[in-house]
Amino acid sequence: IVLVIEPDSLPNLSTNRGDPRCGNSATEAAYKTGIKYAVEHLSEMAPSAAMYLDSGHGGWLGWKNNMQDFVSTIQGLGVAQHLRGFATNVAGYQGLGMMCPTYDYCLNHAHPEDPCCADPCGLTDEWDPSHNEHNYALHLHKAMSEGIPGFVPHIIIDT
């Protein structure tokens, strides 16, 4: 059994805190309390299920500051031990692309001839190293592994 917890709310906390509809304390508390409750209780009810949490997509959370904020949010929930990892492209979409050697391989127009640096949306021009979903998966894995000790998440991508 595989469960994808797709609240679409946790990525919003990382990018839309300045919006009073998303960033007010009541909304933030509801998102965090609700997701924590869901993850813990589903884990208790189906302990052998692989659980993945929605993590937006690279065109949303791919910037380093957004990613760091998302890592802090997940760390603050205290649910990493219940997760197998993250699901991307669930509540939004970014092209799959080709995986590069590192998530930030294409920044500063490095390696423009490499097919993995194809960037049809121009995200690397905006300093988003996660310009395709494969590179976002690399970025998400690295940031979560470094930010939450002992957590080595798997990433699944909805195509």
**Quick check: is 8 catalytic?**
yes
Cα dist. 80→19, 36, 83, 107 in Å? 27, 10, 5, 30
SS (H, E, C) 101-136: CCCCCCHHHCCCCCHHHCCCCCCHHHCCCCCCHHHH
**C-alpha angle 131/137/143, rounded to 5°?**
100
CA 147 to the chain's CA centroid: 13
Backbone angles phi, psi at 61, to 5 degrees: -110, 10
- Catalytic residue selected from 8, 19, 114, 125: 8
Instruction: Enumerate the active-site residues.
Output: 8
